[in-house]
């Protein structure tokens, strides 16, 4: 069978003459429908599937289905196939079939970095399925292990440059948890991020621990209790300080379990959770600083207390990730290009050593 699109009546006559024609194999072990897929005859595949759906379920000598063969075709052919017949139940069931190496079509698409193919594969669920059923089907597909014990989800987590439309598909069906970091942490660098976050969390723990025993305003000498213990601002200071310390300690515990586990998905979830806790610890530390300055200056120098509250509040609002990435970073890039912001000139070590020798 070549790339010619055979008319439906011709294919039907051949099948009427020989009922075994649809499931017979050629010298390469391919059935007519497999050969049609291989040469890109999508219309022929559609006709053959309509005439004999059972023939579509046959695998080749390598255990590959027609979906495995479609991975080697251009994306527009995949899209045409999916839109025409790809959402039929007997074809959807073929996605779970693994070849001799244990790889599903989704495995092959991700290994070949055919992200459009992989996205179309994941969108092959029938239109009448509910969103929940679609998500469950996708999860099962992503959890199938190949011969090396690697799932499609593992492949996704190791790819740092996934197209945005693919990431949006995962998020839309709540598949991103455990597969992709919601904070953009590369899975291959989880250990490095865990070490860095651990240092930051330990620093916050030290700061907040120290602040709890060197309280603003000092202590009453006879009792040892804080002087401002009954003031609301001081109570807010203590609560935010305790909260910041507890959050930073929680981060350290979570990072301990990240190091201790070998499950990549759990590591990704723990890293994302730790990042969230660390962000809350930053906010709590800022509140601690704000209330500490406020309670000690509001009576003698109110303007210092007010400025502190305003600046720290603005900092918490402006340092949100979306604002930093979408507004601050582009503004800095414009400044660097225009010349009003310049990187400091750094004298090279070679020039410095040369100068010292002359001296």
DSSP assignment, residue 190?
Answer: H
**Structural domain harbouring 229:** 187-319
pLDDT of residue 345: 60
Domain-embedded: residue 86:
no
Residue 305's CB: how many other CB atoms inside 10 A?
20
Distance CA 42, CA 45 (A): 5
Looking at the 3D structure of the chain, how many domains does it have? 1
pLDDT of residue 232: 92
Strand pairing partners for 151? 145
pLDDT of residue 359: 44
Domain-embedded: residue 357:
no
Distance CA 202, CA 208 (A): 10
pLDDT of residue 191: 83
User: Would you mind telling me the total number of residues written for the chain in this entry?
Assistant: 359
Domain-embedded: residue 71:
no
Nearest partner of 59 among 99, 15, 91, 27, judged by Cα: 99
Distance CA 31, CA 281 (A): 62
Residues contacting 177, CB < 8 A, separation 6+: 269, 272
Distance CA 285, CA 237 (A): 9
Domain-embedded: residue 177:
no
Domain-embedded: residue 42:
no
Residue 76's CB: how many other CB atoms inside 10 A?
10
**Which parts of the chain have pLDDT scores under 70?**
1-22, 174, 176-180, 188, 341-359
DSSP assignment, residue 359?
Answer: -
Is the CB of residue 118 less than 8 Å from the CB of residue 67?
no
Distances (CA, A) of 203 to 185, 193, 196, 244: 21, 15, 11, 11
Domain-embedded: residue 232:
yes
- DSSP string across 235-264: HHHHHHHHHHHHHHHHHHHHHHHHHH---H
pLDDT of residue 19: 57
Burial of 287 (0-12, 13-18, 19+ CB in 10 A): buried
How many helices and strands, by DSSP H and E, does the chain display? 18, 0
Distances (CA, A) of 106 to 118, 124, 143, 173, 313: 6, 12, 11, 17, 47
pLDDT of residue 357: 47
Residues contacting 68, CB < 8 A, separation 6+: 99, 103, 105, 108
Strand pairing partners for 145? 151
Q: What is the pTM of this model?
A: 0.63
Angle at 345 between CA 339 and CA 347, to 5 degrees: 160
pLDDT of residue 158: 74
Give the dihedral of Cα atoms 150, 115, 5, 24; nearest 10 deg: 0
Distance CA 347, CA 352 (A): 7
Residues contacting 252, CB < 8 A, separation 6+: 198, 201, 202, 205
Distances (CA, A) of 271 to 156, 191, 195, 281: 17, 10, 11, 15
Domain-embedded: residue 330:
no
pLDDT of residue 5: 55
Is the CB of residue 124 less than 8 Å from the CB of residue 87?
yes
pLDDT of residue 291: 93
Strand pairing partners for 226? 219
Is the CB of residue 93 less than 8 Å from the CB of residue 58?
no
Domain-embedded: residue 274:
yes
């Amino acid at each position: 069978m070549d790339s010619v699109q055979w008319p439906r009546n011709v294919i039907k006559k051949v099948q009427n003459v020989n009922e075994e024609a649809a499931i017979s194999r050629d010298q390469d072990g391919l059935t007519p429908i497999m050969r049609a897929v291989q040469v890109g005859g999508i219309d022929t595949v559609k006709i053959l599937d309509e005439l004999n759906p059972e023939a579509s379920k046959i695998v080749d000598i390598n255990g590959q289905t027609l979906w495995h063969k479609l991975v080697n075709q251009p994306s527009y052919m995949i899209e045409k196939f999916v839109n025409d017949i790809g959402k039929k139940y007997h074809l959807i069931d073929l996605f779970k079939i693994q070849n001799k190496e244990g790889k599903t079509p989704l495995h092959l698409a991700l290994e070949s970095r055919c992200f459009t193919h992989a996205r179309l594969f994941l969108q092959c669920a029938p239109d009448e399925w509910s969103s929940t059923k679609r998500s469950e089907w996708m999860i099962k597909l992503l959890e199938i292990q190949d011969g090396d014990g690697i799932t499609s989800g593992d492949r996704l987590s190791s790819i740092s440059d996934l197209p945005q439309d693919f990431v949006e598909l995962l998020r839309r069906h709540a598949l991103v948890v455990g597969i992709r970091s919601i904070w953009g942490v590369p899975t291959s660098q989880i250990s490095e991020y865990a070490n860095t976050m651990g240092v930051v969390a330990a620093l916050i723990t030290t700061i907040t621990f120290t602040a709890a025993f060197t309280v603003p305003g000092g202590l009453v000498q006879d009792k040892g209790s804080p002087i401002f213990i009954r003031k609301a601002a001081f109570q807010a200071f203590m609560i935010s300080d305790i909260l910041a310390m507890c959050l930073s300690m929680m981060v350290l515990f979570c990072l301990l379990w990240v190091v201790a586990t070998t499950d990549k998905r759990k590591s990704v979830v723990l890293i994302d959770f730790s990042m969230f806790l660390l962000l809350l610890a930053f906010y709590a530390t800022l509140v601690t600083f704000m209330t500490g300055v406020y309670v000690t200056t509001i009576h003698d120098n109110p303007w210092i207390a007010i400025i502190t509250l305003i600046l720290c509040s603005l900092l918490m609002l402006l340092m949100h990730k979306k604002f930093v990435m979408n507004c601050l970073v582009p503004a800095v890039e414009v400044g660097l290009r225009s010349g009003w912001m310049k990187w400091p000139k750094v004298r090279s070590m070679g020039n410095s050593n040369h100068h010292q020798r002359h001296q």
